[in-house]
Structure 1
Amino acid sequence: MKDLGSQIAYWDSVGVTKTFTHPVNLSWLSAVSSTARILDYGCGYGRVMGELSEHGYSEVFGVDLSPALIERGRQSRPDLRFAVLESPPAIACAHASFDVVMLFAVLTCVPDDDAQRALAAELSRVLVPGGLLYVSDLLLQDDTRNQHRYSAHAQRFGTPYGVFTTGDGAVCRHHHVAHLRNVFAGFDLLDETRLEVATMNGHRSQAVQLLGRRR
């Protein structure tokens, strides 16, 4: 699970059919210039990119490890710029290439602690000092179904509590909010909000959004 690319087969098959739903709070970007360089890391088929473009942001770039999801994005939004991540978490961009990074429902697909921290470090590298990081991800759920699968997966595989396998084969992770704050401890936390979202398999789940600034 340390390899961010280990689930490409899932995302290129079952995953390419999914719909992603985490909402974008545009008020968090109200001070961001329409020409700011924005990276959507783990962009999937470009849903967030499309929303940003439709609200006037002209320099939006998306990367994802799944060639199939990227191709879906290129077919549906040929006006947007996409690229496949060849060696995740590394991005083929120079230091301080972006003013804003969006990270929507990505850590839930990266179950390993070290891999999450490596991703946070790479995002810090490509952000300008003072740049914004906007994270949206899923929290630990308190219902019986989720608690059972967290415990079962931890007992079987020795994974952190919150990791589980979906019915269609994806290995995912839900997080305690303190863990997410720790992963991004190198950023100054500007805002945080709780919300409910639909998961890619149609369940209602509790989520959190964090807005951070690179030091």
Structure 2
Amino acid sequence: MSTPDDQSAYWNSTGTGKTFAHPLRTDWTLGIDRGAALLDYGCGYGRLAGDLAALGFTDVEGVDVAPESIARARAEQPAARFEVLTDPPRLDRPDACYDAAFLFAVLTCVPDDEAQRALVGELHRVLRPGGLLQVSDYCLQPDDRNRARYRLFEARYGRLGVFETGDGAVCRHHTRARLDELFTAFEPVAEHELPVLTMNGRPAVATQLLLARR
């Protein structure tokens, strides 16, 4: 059984009610001009885009596959712009049109290898050379609960770290080598780990990366 590469149905139903808690590293935004063009890819209900607007950024755009989440984002975060992704991961934007992009808890929602590569490739296309990419996502978790479900679903999906949630999603936690492989076209700038809550309210550790487009 291959890993699904399209979870739009989940994010347009159950997923619209989820809450996301990965915090923005504001110190990683200090060198970005407040008029820079910013992209929040997989923006959900616009929390991160709202945080960026609150920091004084005036050109913030969020995109997501869930129309209901985009409608909520437009209502709650009027200082940013939001669009529905109709053909993910493709963006109807020219090459090198963004100065920085943000990819928060998105790769975990895209479990397929090729789909992940396509997403990262599209972000590379729309970022200008030297443009920054902030990533916040999950490496493999060390706790017993996660380790057990990694083992449970490894045979089904053909890779360690892919698992099913109880409410219909297929998610992925990554080896660090996998993240490094995905972002070979970017230059590492900084990284750190921090405690967060998952979309289902469970404690986890997030890995955050600051990268520059080569």
Question: Structure 2: how far apart are the matches of 1:69 and 1:163?
Answer: 25
Q: Which residue number corresponds to residue 56 of structure 1?
A: 56
- Decide whether the 8 Å contact of 1:2 with 1:114 is kept in 2: no
Unaligned runs of 5+ in 1: none
| 2:70/2:84 contact within 8 Å kept | yes
Determine if contact 1:3/1:115 at 8 Å carries over to the other structure. no
Amino acid at match of 2:191: E
Q: Which residue of 2 aligns with 1:212?
A: 211
- Summarize the Cα distance change of 1:83–1:3 in structure 2 as closer, same or farther, 3 Å threshold: farther
Deviation string for 1:70-97 (max 9, x for gaps)? 1121222233210011111100100011
- Kindly state the Cα deviation for residue 2 of structure 1 after the two structures are TM-superposed: 6.5
CA distance in 1, matches of 2:26, 2:18: 23
Whole-angstrom CA distance in 1 between matches of 2:89 and 2:114 = 11
Hey, what does 1:194 align to over in structure 2? 193
Identical positions, percent: 51
2:112 corresponds to = 112
Structure 2-normalised TM-score?
0.96
Number of residue pairs matched by the alignment: 213
Deviation per residue, 1:126-168 (Å, 9 max, x gap): 000110011000111111211111111112x233210011111
Letter in 2 for 1:94: P
Deviation by residue 1:84-123 (Cα, 9 ceiling, x = unmatched): 1111110010001100010000000000111111111110
1:200 partner amino acid: M
- What are the equivalent positions in structure 2 for 1:7-26 lying under 5 Å apart? 7-26=7-26
* 8 Å contact kept, 2:38–2:60: yes
Q: Gapped runs of 5+ residues in structure 2?
A: none
Instruction: Trace 1:102-181 onto structure 2 (pairs within 5 A).
Output: 102-155=102-155, 157-181=156-180
RMSD: 1.2
Structure 1 2/24 Cα, relative in aligned 2: closer, same or farther at 3 Å?
same
Deviation of the 1:169 alpha carbon: 1.1
Q: Which amino acid aligns with 2:91?
A: I
| Partner Cα separation in structure 1 for residue 101 and residue 57 of structure 2 | 13
